[in-house]
Amino acid sequence: MAVPMAQSKDAGKALTLKSVLGAGFGEIIEIEGKMIDDSDTRTRAHLGKKLMSVTTIGDKELENPVMIELQAFSFSKFKFPEHGATMRIRGYETGTFVGIPQRAFEDIPQVATTDYHFESHFQVIALLAKNNPEQTDAAEHEIAPN
């Protein structure tokens, strides 16, 4: 599964971006889940990213985990837990457009990249609880591709 994306080719029409976590962008919420990485998603684009398989939003346990990239302010000195650790954090969902539109390569050299799209991420502002990983089967925290 890729980090959540929204189609960005709006062809001049209004484009609606939806919050992956459902609380809306910029709303302070608490989420809980397990730290995962590219070995779980088997996606090269996730190499080096801090990802969480979210199982709980607020007090609501999710039927199906939702994956989101985590980010922290450099001045916060927040240290991301190791792969497999579970944690409860406070923060807010935000995002950015990334990639290069295909037509741009009519004027610039072609490079390996993703197409232009929106990616959501969760900005961490506080660590509320953390549990270190225990011996688990790797398949237990795998996320299937979209």
Where exactly are the structural domains of the chain? 26-131
Per-residue model confidence (pLDDT) at position 135: 45
Tokens of 119: 């990616």
Tokens of 139: 């398949």
List Cβ neighbours of 4 (8 Å cut-off, separation of 6 or more). 20, 66, 67, 68, 119, 120
CB 68 within 8 A of CB 4: yes
Topology at the third CATH level for domain 26-131: OB fold (Dihydrolipoamide Acetyltransferase, E2P) (2.40.50)
pLDDT tens digit sequence for 12-62: 677 788 899 999 999 999 999 999 987 777 777 767 789 999 999 999 999
Between 64 and 133, residue with greater pLDDT: 64
Give the bridge partners for 32, in sequence order: 56, 88
Per-residue model confidence (pLDDT) at position 5: 45
Judge whether residue 134 has pLDDT over 70: no
How does the average pLDDT of the chain come out, rounded?
A: 82
| E strand segments, 1-59 | 5-7, 29-36, 51-57
From residue 40, give the alpha-carbon distance in Å to each of 52, 57, 68, 77.
Answer: 11, 21, 13, 26
Per-residue model confidence (pLDDT) at position 122: 97
d(Cα 79, Cα 81) in Å, to the nearest integer?
6
